[in-house]
Every structure is written in C-alpha cells, then in structure tokens.
Amino acid sequence: MTPPLSQSIINRPVLGLCRAALFHYYLTTPSGLSDEEASQRLQNFGKNQIEFHRRRSPLLMLLAEFTALFPLLLMAAALLSFFAQSISPDQGYKLIGFALLLVVLLNALVSFSQNYRVEQLMLSFLDYIPKEVALLREGEKILRDAKEVVPGDILFLQEGDKISADGVIISASQLLLDESILTGESEPVIKFAVQDKVEKTNLARSGATVLKGSAQMLVTRTGRATSLGSISELSQSVTSNLTPMQLELQDFVGKITWLALGIGLIFFMIGFIIGNSFWINLIFAIGIIVANVPEGLLPTVTLALTQASVRMSKHNAIIKHILSVETLGSTTVICTDKTGTLTHNKLHVEKLYLNLQEISVNHQNGLENNPAACTAFEIMALCNEVITLKEHKSSERFHGDPTEVAMALFTDRHGGFEAIRERFKIMQTRPFDAVSKYMSSTYQTGDNSFYLTVKGAPDVILERCSQLHCDRIVREIQDQDRLHIAKQAHYYANQGLRVLALAYRKTAQLESNAQQLVFAGLVAMVDPPRREVPAAVSACKSAGIRIIVISGDKGETVSYIARKLGIVTTPKVIDGEQLSAMDMEELMEELRGGEVVFARIAPEQKLSIVNALKEMNEVVAVTGDGVNDAPALKRADIGIAMGKRGTDVAKEASDIILLDDNFATIVKAIEEGRAIYDNIKKFITYILTSNIPEILPFIAYVLFPIPLPITVIQILAIDLITDILPAIGLGNEPPEADTMLRPPRRRDERLVSINTFIRSYAIIGPVEAAFSFMAFFMVLYGAGWEWGQTLTSSDPLYGQAAGAFLTTIIFSQIGNVMACRSNRQSAWPHLTQFNQWITLGVVAELLFIVTILYTPALHNIFSTAPIDISIWWIFIIAPITLFSIEEFRKWLVRRGVKWLAV
C-alpha cells in the first residue's frame, strides 16, 4: 500500500528536483490522481481556498461599538445620573441618564450601519480564485471546482486562466504568465516545462494569469500553503495601530474626564466648608461632572465622519472605517506601488526610432505617409500573434502578449491593424523563444513574392541585419549605424523602456532563415502613467506630502515613471538586494537622505519600509492592488486598495478602496480628511463653550442663596437638541481655501489643546455665562425678587428667570457657531456661504426656544414661562458681542499671539 502524501513533503521546496523524481515525490503519475486518492488528500490538506476576509458576526460588530472610550464615558455618566436620582428623585437625573444611554445607542446604530454596509461590500469582492478548473484524473480531462484541487493533481492551463494553486510546469506551449499581483513587476514572465531539474522558470504560482499559450502543471501546494495564501496570512498577522483620530479622541476624553472629576471634587470639598451635608454635596458634584460631559459630541463626530464617507463614495472611494477619512488628512508620506496604481498596467508605444532618429508618437504628424514608419507599422502588425475579439471595443479587443497588444493598438491607430494584415497572406511563423530572442512571420504579397518580418532583442536583430532602411532607401548598414542604433537601444533600456528591434527581408522564394535582414527601426514601450496622476502628485507636493514609489519592477522602469510623473528628479534607486543588506537605522538614514525609489521589492521588504517610516513618526499611507501589497497596506496608518484591479487580499487589508483605481481620488480624500479634522476641531470648540454656562449655575447655587439658574432638563435640551444641528453643520463645512497649501499637521498637534480650553472655558464660555446671569437677575430683580429669597420650581417667576438664562445661552451659541466657521481667518466671509445644516440648526433653535417659552403645556417640563419683550434686547446683543470678541481673538492670532490660537 502506498503511504499517504505527508505535509512535510508539501512544505519542502521543489527547486532542484529532477523531473523523473517529481511524480514519485508527490505520489502521482503523468495520468493524474484517482478520484479516491484526491478525495483522501482533500481531507488531509483541506480545501484549496484562502480566507481573504474573515466574516464578522453582526452581533459582535454591534457590541464593539459600545467599547470605545467615549461611549464608556457617557455610560459612566449615565450610571452616576441614576445614582443621583436614587438619592434625590426630584432633580430629573433619571431623564439625563436615559438620554445619555439613548445617545450611546443611536451612535452605535449609526456607526454599525456604516460598518455593516462595508462588510457586505467586502464579501461581494471575494471572487478572485476561479470557480472551476480542468484537471487530469486517471488519464481523463475533467472539470472540478477549484476548491477540490489537491497536491499531486495535474492542472490544465490555457490563455485567460487564473492559476488556482502553486505547481511545476510539466508541459508547455509558448506559456506567458502575468505575475504582477504577486511581484509588482509589470513585465510578463515566460515559463518552460521542466527538463532535467526544476528551475524557477518551471514554477507557476497561485494568483498568476495566463496571458498566452497552454500548459499542464503538477500541483505542489494548495490553499494557505500557496504563495498567494502565505502573503494573505502575513497580512492578517500584521497588527494595525490606532488611527490619529482615535488617539486624539482618547486624549480629549481623558482631558474632559479629569477636568470634570477635578471640578466636581473641588466643589464637593467647598460644600463641606460652607456647611452643606454630604449628600447635598455629592448630588451637586455629580451634577457638575455630568454637565461637563459633552453628550452631543459623540453622535456629532460619528455623523460628521459618516457624512464624509458618503461624500467620498460619490468620488468612487469606499471608506471601510469611518475614522480613516481623517487619518488620510494627516498623512505625511504616501508609499505607492507603480504597476496599476501610478500606471495603467498596460503597455503602450512610447518611442519610435526610425531613419536613425527618434520620431514623436504623441501626435500623428503624418506618420502614415512616412515610408519608414509605414514599414515599421507593417512589421508590428504582421509579426504579431494577438487574438482579435471583434465584438469588444477597440481598446480591449486585442488579447495576448502585452508587447504585441501594445503594437497592435498602435498600428490600429495608424492605418488599421486589420487593414494591414488583410493585404498579406500568412505562410509560416516562428514563435519567440528565450534562446534565440526573436520572432519571425513570413507572408505572401500580392505579387506572389514573400515578406519575412522579424522582431526581437536589439542586439540579436542587429547581428542578423546587413542593410538599413533609411531616408526612403535601403542601403548597406555601416559600423557607425550599428553603434548609433545600439547606443539608442541602450539609452531606452536605461530609461526603463522595453525595447524591440524591427527588421524584414523580401524574397522571391519562401524562406524562414532570419539572416541578411533590413533593419527598420526600434520600438520602445512602457506601462504609461495615468493622465490624472501628475496633477495629483503636484497637489500632494503643495500639501507637503512626500511620495515614495515602491515596486517589484526593475529599477530603470521605476525611476523613469517616478521622474516622468514629477515625483522625483534625480532619485537614488534601492533594489531588494540592497535593502536586504540594510538594518533599520541604515534604511531610515536613506529615507531621510533625499529622493529614493525602491525596485525589485519583496512583500516583506515593503513592510520593512513602512515600519521604518512609522519609526520616523511619519503618518504613512500605502496604495496598492496586488497580493504583494497586502502586508504593508495592513501595517500602514491608512491602506488604500484599488477596486478594479485590486485583489481580495489587498482590499481586505486596506482602509479605503478606490473603485475607479484613480490615484487622483487620493488627493480629494486627503483634502476631505484635512477638512474633517478642522471641522471636528470647530464643533468641539463650539460644544465645549456651553459647558461653562451649564456648570457655573450649579457652582453659584452651592455658594450663594439663589435659585438654580438652569435645570438638568434644560442642559439636556442644549446638548441634545439645540447644539446638535449647528455642530453637524460645522462638521460639513467645505475645506478652506488653504487646506491643500499647508503642510500636514504635526504629530504633537492636539485636536483639543490647552488653547481650546482657554478659548471655550476662559474667553467665550464666561462671556456666555455673564450674559446669561445678567438676563437671569434682570428678570428676578425686575419682578421684585430679593437676595436670598427662595423660589419653588412651580413659581412663574422662576420659570421666567430660568427661561431667560436658557434663551441667552441658545442665542449666544448662534453667535458662537458663526464664529466657529473659521479657525484663524475672519468668519465674516463665511456668513454669506450657505450651509444648510447650520441654517436649519439656527431656525430649529429659535423655534424651540419660542415654543417652550410660550407654550403652557411645556412650561413644567422645561421650567420656563413667557418672558417680557423688554428683556429680549440682551438676547440679541449677546451673540453679536460674542462674535465680535472671537473676531478680535482671531485678529490677534493672525498677528502672532500664538497662545490664543485654537
């Protein structure tokens, strides 16, 4: 009985194995496995599938929304409120407790709905591995689900297939593979059948695509053991740090918590000094603590980030995690892949060298009337094995080797690919091979002569040429001509272009000998940059963002593309071998040193570059579309995957998915992220301001014999009704004019700094409180109230005074929200810019306060009563005064008074 195939055999490398031992090694035969043996191996090694995205339980996703620091703070405040209610049932603390819990619940539902929608989108992406494949089992070709492929199977490969496992090529016919999603290298790879021993050119890997030819492959690894699977596992093992916004919100929650506890404790002690009992002091300490908690901030932050995500989706960017929007705004370095990200991942003809001179291909310039160009077009069209799909649009109807597709498209634009081929009759073709390094096709012409067309490596073709097509004539090629041509080919190659030489010979007899040729010219091709990328690069530079190109392609090509896009001017090229020899300090020194690009980089090396940049305190964004990008995408502060060309592994590891693969969308996202940061800072400043007129009444009530100027219900009305819509409006303010002209914010710049508290707690807040107390006492003294006189909550005078205090805060907040529409610049120009949320918020505030003041049914709930019109002047002057003070503060900031800057 044959022993079963062991896992240890699967894990061993196959390089160097002789062909004869290969089948014995994997316990199989050239006619394939039996179904019984395949079934047994399926049980032993598992299904041939890779878990790109681990499905998350909706319940766990929802529960996770309650574990962040801010929801925990609000829930703690709710518990304190319920405790205070049990001690003092008539203060309305139960209502504030339930309101806080409702805020946490609604916020969790909004955030969950956004994340669940993205989760469903991710699940819809998981279709990269082919569903069905052709296998050889017991000598018969059969179709099976790709998940059933096992080590030892023989897999049929043909043009267009996505390879579903790793293996060794045992037979092949002109096999050409695209491995760019694994290596980042755009150049297709020729593969050969194993002869004596297994070499790298005999190996095919899961995830690669067959561009041309056919083959049979002995499967050596499946599922997570494949190259694709191992990179997926690496990306899933990489840990992500908290986003800058998460860190900032944690910092803010910490500050506001300690501030609330500190103020509460101070006045708890003061209460003892002035003779109050323990329970009275505790109740008011809890009131101060709860009043300090900005209940409306959590839903406002969530809504602002969610709305930013919705806006980005209209620009074809899917935001997987809403905090990622702001993170991109704080980005200092973008590490970008070249192939498919900066470029189209599709070759095109970049240069033509005819008549011993370079000819522009960007404009037609009568190329069709140039004899040398016409000959070059003929060779490019005839010495070409692309497959034409006539039902497809012109840019997609050619399939095959990328260089041949590029030449077919080029000739199609200059005279027509099919029009050229219809003039000749194919007689014989000699396919390209890696040994001879050329391809030839022979055609019969209309006069029954024969036309041998050849293309190949410049040095090989030059050796086979005895004549030169130049200046409308064919003449003998001179040594000087050879020198010029070789020098030009070398120049193109050093620029990162893929160069082919074109030649021909016309004969009376059918011949296949590619000797004594006429040299026609050079054609140089490149995977071209996307048209929108240069403008995006320029915008990044203006915004102080550094771009580093990291590619699996060769150094010359990476450098050429980076220079052409304006990313660098004279870069130092560091390849994978050089990078392997560097330690972290040396790598960081190179990154600090100036312009660098990275070429021939392996996935784990890309991860090393990201780690080095993060060690340098950079906020790193990584773009990519291939499997090789996934670990770095996961480790980066922000990972950006391409939606069209991106693999499932890359999409899973990323934070943002660009559905249109448009690098320029990143610039829009950066601007949106910076605006979000500015706007969150604006509405935090706005919301914090009302804390002072909410806290001081409790302090005054403890210290002085006066009625409580504001009730718990009124505080809730401010925090959860009147302040919410204007705060959302500030969260939706458009980017300011200089948003993309200033450098990224510093790592040590805080979202909520001491200056923010100075502005809210020492300048604007006290002004609001002063006007509110002024209105409160004007009502009391105007009605004959005397110092120390007690008023019950049902007394109409108390309702008028408390209503005046509340009305003043609400009107002051109207001036505050208008002032907060800019951070440094004057807010006057913003007053003419329509913001529907702010406008709606102001109208809602006015309607709310008028309704609760003049609707008798609401008086007991909100402790209000109608206010005499003679008091209303103070409501009008309060926001104007507050706005003017803010304008003066900003004027001082613009003139260098930094301690006043928010």
**Does residue 525 sit in helix, strand or coil?**
strand
Answer with the residue of higher pLDDT: 604 or 864.
864
Q: Strand (E) positions, 81-208?
A: 132-137, 140-145, 154-158, 166-178, 189-191, 203-204
* 110 pLDDT more than 80: no
Lowest mean pLDDT among 112-126, 209-223, 378-392, 416-430: 112-126
Find out whether 674 and 743 touch, Cβ atoms under 8 Å.
no
* Count of other CB atoms within 10 angstroms of residue 433: 12
* 764 pLDDT more than 90: yes
> What is residue 128's predicted lDDT score, i.e. its pLDDT?
45
pLDDT band (50, 70, 90) for residue 604: confident
Return the bridge partners of 475, or none: 468
Site of tokens 């993060």: 614
Find out whether 418 and 388 touch, Cβ atoms under 8 Å.
yes
* Count of other CB atoms within 10 angstroms of residue 395: 9
Alpha carbon distance 673, 735 (integer Å):
9
> What is residue 127's predicted lDDT score, i.e. its pLDDT?
47
Q: What is the mean pLDDT of the chain?
A: 85
**Residues 6 or more apart whose Cβ sits within 8 Å of residue 592:** 616
If you average pLDDT over residues 101-111, what whole number do you get? 81
If you average pLDDT over residues 733-755, what whole number do you get? 81
Alpha carbon distance 543, 545 (integer Å):
6
* Count of other CB atoms within 10 angstroms of residue 747: 12
Strands 425-430 and 438-444, by their bridges, are: antiparallel
Site of tokens 């007689």: 427
Answer with the residue of higher pLDDT: 367 or 73.
73
Lowest mean pLDDT among 12-16, 293-297, 695-699: 293-297
pLDDT band (50, 70, 90) for residue 88: confident
Alpha carbon distance 843, 722 (integer Å):
10
Alpha carbon distance 67, 71 (integer Å):
7
- What whole-number percentage of the chain has pLDDT above 70? 92
**Of 216, 204, 230, whose CA–CA distance to 28 is shortest?**
216
CA 250 → CA 242, 254, 255, 719, 754, distances in Å? Answer: 10, 6, 9, 21, 15
CA quadruple 617, 343, 532, 524: dihedral sign: positive
* 125 pLDDT more than 80: no
φ/ψ (deg, to 5) at 409: -65, -40
Lowest mean pLDDT among 144-153, 214-223, 306-315, 769-778: 306-315
What are the tokens at 156? 């049929």
Alpha carbon distance 146, 222 (integer Å):
10
Alpha carbon distance 48, 475 (integer Å):
61
Find out whether 631 and 234 touch, Cβ atoms under 8 Å.
yes
What are the tokens at 707? 């009625």
**Of 145, 200, 137, whose CA–CA distance to 168 is shortest?**
200
Reported as a single tens digit per residue, the pLDDT across 429-438 is: 988 877 788 9
**Of 542, 562, 563, 569, whose CA–CA distance to 667 is shortest?**
542
**Of 627, 600, 622, whose CA–CA distance to 611 is shortest?**
622
Structure letter (DSSP) for residue 615: H
> What is residue 634's predicted lDDT score, i.e. its pLDDT?
83
Structure letter (DSSP) for residue 546: E
> What is residue 478's predicted lDDT score, i.e. its pLDDT?
93
Reported as a single tens digit per residue, the pLDDT across 559-594 is: 988 998 999 999 999 999 999 999 999 999 999 988
Q: What angle do CA 410, 416, 422 make, to 5 degrees?
A: 130
Find out whether 303 and 592 touch, Cβ atoms under 8 Å.
no
User: If you write DSSP's letter for every residue of 36-90 in order, what string do you get?
Assistant: HHHHHHHHHH--S---SS-PPPHHHHHHHTT-SHHHHHHHHHHHHHHHHHHH-GG
Answer with the residue of higher pLDDT: 405 or 901.
405
Strands 546-549 and 333-336, by their bridges, are: parallel
CA 602 → CA 81, 180, 628, distances in Å? Answer: 57, 12, 7
**Residues 6 or more apart whose Cβ sits within 8 Å of residue 855:** none
Element (H, E) at 436: none
Structure letter (DSSP) for residue 548: E
**Residues 6 or more apart whose Cβ sits within 8 Å of residue 745:** 330, 677
**Does residue 834 sit in helix, strand or coil?**
coil
Residues taking part in catalysis: 337
Alpha carbon distance 720, 331 (integer Å):
33
* Count of other CB atoms within 10 angstroms of residue 829: 11
Three-state SS letters, 699-749: HHHHHCCCCCCCCHHHHHHHHHHHCHHHHHHHHCCCCCCCHHHCCCCCCCC
Structure letter (DSSP) for residue 505: E
pTM: 0.73
Reported as a single tens digit per residue, the pLDDT across 819-861 is: 999 888 888 988 888 999 999 999 999 999 999 999 999 998 8
Answer with the residue of higher pLDDT: 415 or 234.
415
Alpha carbon distance 296, 367 (integer Å):
68
What are the tokens at 280? 């009275």
Reported as a single tens digit per residue, the pLDDT across 180-222 is: 777 766 678 889 999 888 999 999 998 888 888 889 999 999 9
**Of 706, 667, 347, 619, whose CA–CA distance to 498 is shortest?**
347
* 42 pLDDT more than 50: yes
* Count of other CB atoms within 10 angstroms of residue 119: 17
> What is residue 184's predicted lDDT score, i.e. its pLDDT?
63
Find out whether 695 and 263 touch, Cβ atoms under 8 Å.
yes
Strands 425-430 and 572-575, by their bridges, are: unpaired
Reported as a single tens digit per residue, the pLDDT across 361-371 is: 865 555 666 77
What are the tokens at 720? 């959860």
* 648 pLDDT more than 60: yes
* 768 pLDDT more than 70: yes
* 5 pLDDT more than 90: no
**Residues 6 or more apart whose Cβ sits within 8 Å of residue 280:** 271
Instruction: Work out the end-to-end distance of the chain between its first and last CA atoms, rounded to an integer number of angstroms.
Output: 80
Amino acid at 495: Q
Element (H, E) at 781: helix 765-782
If you average pLDDT over residues 785-799, what whole number do you get? 91
Lowest mean pLDDT among 316-330, 359-373, 447-461, 708-722: 359-373
**Of 846, 834, 836, whose CA–CA distance to 879 is shortest?**
846
Return the bridge partners of 176, or none: 190, 212
Alpha carbon distance 659, 879 (integer Å):
46
> What is residue 392's predicted lDDT score, i.e. its pLDDT?
57
Site of tokens 């699996």: 552
With left for phi above 0 and alpha for psi between -120 and 50, is residue 421 left, alpha or beta?
Answer: alpha
* 671 pLDDT more than 90: no
Site of tokens 């120009």: 829
Answer with the residue of higher pLDDT: 20 or 581.
581
Answer with the residue of higher pLDDT: 809 or 298.
809
Alpha carbon distance 525, 406 (integer Å):
8
> What is residue 589's predicted lDDT score, i.e. its pLDDT?
93
> What is residue 780's predicted lDDT score, i.e. its pLDDT?
96
Amino acid at 793: S
Site of tokens 């009444």: 697
If you average pLDDT over residues 793-815, what whole number do you get? 95
